[in-house]
Amino acid sequence: MTLTRKSPHLGGIHTEDLAMLREMLEHPASVLGIGDGGAHVRAICDASNPTFMLTHWVRDRTRGLRLPLEMVIHKMTGNNAALYGDWNMADQSFEYLKQVFDVNLHGVWLMTHAVAPHMVAQEFGRVINQSSAAAYNYRPTGADQFDGLNAFNYQQTKWGVVGLTKFTAAQLGRWNITVNCIAPGVIPTDATLKVVPRETVEYLATQQPVPGVIETDDLTGAAVYFASDEARFVTGQVLVIDGGKYMPA
């Protein structure tokens, strides 16, 4: 596709050429980038920045056609950049803690903040957040020497997703919008295997009441249920899928 009428204000595209930009965004080969929330399901992205794609193209655009919410979400969660595969477990600094919060927790809020007005307007919606069973991992570190308070960056942020799920469920429920959460155990995605060796994944799988390595397909049923009409009165809930390793009340 050739884009003309260049301007430095919109990446080389004149602001009146948004119809042309819309055609480019709809192209099957285009990938739209945003935030985390999907390392467990091979849908990794980075949502630490506000989602102009959603707020303008789905909700606020008044001149010309908007983009369908479902199409934008599909493109955004298909193949994008992430923090998870590069997670530095050794970095206990405050600066890195804030970075993990930006992606893992604030990214979830930004995404929900962008789509909520659209869902409220149509008086229907399904929000399915991605936490982690790590949110319930309170085991001692086993270290004999105290080198400072750990940041618990991944665990903190995934616990935050649990809380955010409940708060947003309480606010949005009156418009028939449900907000639920899936908290998976360790799943050997490409991102996981960058920070957790496969041998460790397989060993952890033997420690579950229901032993076995959890795969991405094991989350499908929960997601489909939360999105279905059968779950219209289910909201603010967290479903841990980890073979029973953690059993929060």
Catalytic-labelled residue, pool 84, 138, 154, 246: 154
At residue 131, what are phi and psi to the nearest 5 degrees? -105, -140
User: In the sheet that 177-184 helps form, which strands lie side by side, from edge to edge?
Assistant: 125-130, 177-184, 238-241
Angle at which helix 107-122 crosses helix 153-172, to 10 degrees, equals 10
Query: Where are the alpha helices (H) located in the chain, listed in sequence order?
Result: 18-26, 52-54, 69-76, 94-101, 107-122, 153-172, 190-195, 198-205, 220-227
84 is catalytic: no
Yes or no: say if 183 and 136 are a contact pair by the CB < 8 Å rule: yes
Yes or no: say if 167 and 57 are a contact pair by the CB < 8 Å rule: no
Closest CA to 238 of 34, 247, 204: 247
The span from the CA of 35 to the CA of 58, in Å, is: 17
Which residues are tagged catalytic?
A: 154
